[in-house]
């Protein structure tokens, strides 16, 4: 797959991409206590948490107790990242992306940076994953937060 893409990319001047294997997992979390428990286990990693009354960037020593409940977050581990978002029904959706040789999807990826906003301060780095569709070519379908750029927070 990478070789096929690189032939086309070289001819058209497209960016170089790398290959990896990933697994995607999605789950629902219903209670604020479960969300706080999940985030408590991630304090040493890179990331951000948007609360009702403020934003916290990781790593930190402990979760703040004066900002209300978390609304959204992105946490980056070495090979795994997860995104926490409100599900629209009073709970949260957690999407995790795991890169490993045992991954279920063989994909291409590139690395991109985005300037944060009030919900995610700093310069955020992502791996953007692309899959090939027989009819439409390659398209981006998932991304994994990998941390903040040097000096980004």
Supply the range of the domain harboring residue 26. 2-148
Q: What is the pLDDT along the chain (153 residues), one digit of tens a residue?
A: 556 777 777 888 877 888 999 999 999 999 999 999 999 999 999 999 999 888 899 999 999 989 988 999 999 999 999 999 999 999 999 999 999 989 999 999 999 999 887 666 689 999 999 988 888 888 899 999 999 987 554
Rounded CA separation 143/127 (Å): 5
The pLDDT of residue 153? 47
In-domain check, residue 66 = yes
**Residue 9 DSSP SS3:** helix
Alpha helices in 17-152 (DSSP H): 32-40
Report pTM. 0.85
In-domain check, residue 153 = no
The residues pairing with 97 across neighbouring beta strands, listed in sequence order, are 24, 81
Domains: count for the chain:
1
The residues pairing with 48 across neighbouring beta strands, listed in sequence order, are 57, 74
């Amino acid at each position: 797959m990478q070789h096929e893409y690189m032939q086309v990319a070289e001819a058209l001047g497209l960016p170089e991409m790398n290959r990896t294997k990933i697994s995607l997992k999605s789950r629902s979390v219903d209670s604020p206590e479960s969300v706080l428990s999940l985030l408590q286990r991630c304090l040493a990693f890179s990331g951000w948490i948007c609360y009702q009354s403020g934003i916290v960037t990781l790593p930190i020593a402990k979760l703040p107790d004066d900002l209300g409940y978390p609304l959204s977050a992105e946490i980056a581990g070495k090979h795994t990242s997860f995104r926490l978002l409100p599900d629209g029904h009073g709970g949260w959706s957690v999407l995790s992306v795991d890169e490993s040789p045992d991954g279920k999807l063989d994909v291409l990826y590139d690395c991109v940076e985005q300037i944060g906003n009030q919900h995610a301060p700093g310069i955020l780095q992502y791996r953007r994953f692309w899959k090939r569709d027989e009819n439409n070519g390659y398209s981006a379908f998932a991304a994994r937060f990998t941390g903040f750029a040097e000096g980004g927070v």
